[in-house]
Amino acid sequence: MSNAKKISAIIFFLIITVIPLLILILPKKEFSENENRVLTAFPSFTWDNIQSGKFMKDFEGFFSDHFMMRDEWIATKTKTELLAGKKEVNGVFILNDRLIQKVEDYDRTLVAKNVSAINGFAKRVKIPCTMMLVPTACEIQKDQLDPNVPVLNQKMLIESVYSRMAGQLSTVDAYTPLYSSKDEYIYYKTDHHWTSLGAYLGYSAASRSLGYQTIPLNSFDIQHASHDFYGTLYSKVIYDKTGPDTIDYYSYPKGTTVNKVVVNTGSSEKYYDSMYFREYLSKKDKYSSFLGSNQPFVTVHSNAKSGKKLLVIKDSYAHSLVPFLTQHYSEVTMADLRYINVNLNEKLNLDDYDQVLFVYNVETFAEDQNIVKLNFTE
């Protein structure tokens, strides 16, 4: 008996001493590409930090963030949970060939606040405003989920929001075209965004409200920019049986060309000559090759003859949509309220714009605490 016990003791001590030593020795990253966030830094050892418990909390965050082979551990956990019969892990449904972000019930008060902020904004600016709420894969591809799974009825939420905006904004029904193409590649398998094809459907759905002539799908040239995209959902569960996603760029040879893209990060301005920031294709976060990561303002200047200017107040779903819109506007500015803490008028002149388009996916819209910042324009 005792030999086996001795083996247990020795192996246990080897594991619990070697792992922390390796963590100590191995170089540490400051930024996790996989999770797309800054990792917790080693906390400073001060009396205040200790007394308040901040040191302890941050130390645990630091140690957990820098735990070696984090991805392998997460993958092991996911496999174990699937084996135990779970259908969702960390808020992600794991299906045979794809991952879907779970969207649950929402905070009615917050949605009401968001609606009234947008309505109030539309009333004040006296520029035609359009609202496009985009359902996520959790709604459109619901039939791939367990029929009993309790998820949010996004269609009902969209209808309810739109009915409260009636008369103030024109609204875009993105649900119907997306739903009729639900079996096409309109959402990434490993990411929570819509694909370029999904965004094309949104672009086409918005044509009537925004007043442009949709360019037919078959007029576009499609370039497969990457066949090796593993998105945010993959990062949450490290489950690779779905295979990677493809990033597609749609270009319209007969259309406009983009002269300049200006990214305003709040502290500086950067200039690009294309809407596709190809340096992201070699990184983990390949979706950001569409006009970069979320920034306060991104403005696309094109040689479109219309001379019209569009302001897009948005979440990241807009990034793959804007390339289509540039065919019809000589200037499109994306404003991300999550990164702007002042009255929009302080940063740009709202009167310059001919139209305003709100683009949000249902999940962000139902959770975003920043839309109320529109009230600053009062």
Q: What spatial distance separates the first Cα and last Cα of the chain, rounded to whole Å?
A: 78
Of the candidate residues 43, 70, 116, 306, the single one contacting another protein (CB under 8 A): 70
Of the candidate residues 28, 33, 42, 60, the single one contacting another protein (CB under 8 A): 60
User: Does 11 sit near another protein (CB under 8 A)?
Assistant: yes
Query: Are residues 103 and 154 in contact, defined by beta-carbon separation less than 8 angstroms?
Result: yes
Of the candidate residues 39, 40, 77, 244, the single one contacting another protein (CB under 8 A): 77
Two tokens, residue 370:
């920043």
User: Does 23 sit near another protein (CB under 8 A)?
Assistant: yes
Of the candidate residues 39, 40, 43, 59, the single one contacting another protein (CB under 8 A): 59
CA separation (Å) from 171 to 114, 119, 165, 210, 374? 15, 12, 8, 10, 18
Alpha helices in 313-377 (DSSP H): 322-325, 344-347, 362-367
For another protein, which stretch binds (CB under 8 A), given 7-15, 113-121, 183-191, 223-231? Answer: 7-15
- In whole angstroms, how close is the CB of 47 to another protein at the nearest point? 10
**Which residues have C-beta within 8 Å of that of residue 2, sequence separation ≥ 6?**
none
User: Does 293 sit near another protein (CB under 8 A)?
Assistant: no
Q: What angle, rounded to 10 degrees, do the helices at 154-165 and 108-125 form?
A: 40
Radius of gyration of the chain (CA): 23
x/- letters, 88..117, toward another protein (CB under 8 A) = x-x---------------------------
Of the candidate residues 96, 109, 148, 349, the single one contacting another protein (CB under 8 A): 148
Q: Residues in contact with another protein, total (CB under 8 A)?
A: 47
User: Does 85 sit near another protein (CB under 8 A)?
Assistant: yes
User: Does 9 sit near another protein (CB under 8 A)?
Assistant: yes
> Residue 353's closest CA among 319, 312, 298?
312
User: Does 164 sit near another protein (CB under 8 A)?
Assistant: no
Of the candidate residues 64, 176, 223, 341, the single one contacting another protein (CB under 8 A): 64
Print burial letters for 331-361: b (CB count within 10 Å at least 16), e (below 16): bbbbbbbbebeeebeeeeebeebbbbbbbbb
Query: Are residues 194 and 202 in contact, defined by beta-carbon separation less than 8 angstroms?
Result: yes
- In whole angstroms, how close is the CB of 365 to another protein at the nearest point? 22
User: Does 53 sit near another protein (CB under 8 A)?
Assistant: yes
User: Does 51 sit near another protein (CB under 8 A)?
Assistant: yes
Burial of 59 (0-12, 13-18, 19+ CB in 10 A): middle
CA angle 290, 315, 308 (to 5 degrees): 70
- In whole angstroms, how close is the CB of 97 to another protein at the nearest point? 20
For another protein, which stretch binds (CB under 8 A), given 86-94, 179-187, 223-231, 262-270? Answer: 86-94
Give the footprint of another protein on this chain (CB under 8 A).
Answer: 1-13, 15-17, 19-20, 23, 50-53, 56, 59-60, 63-64, 67, 70, 73-74, 76-77, 80-81, 84-88, 90, 146-150
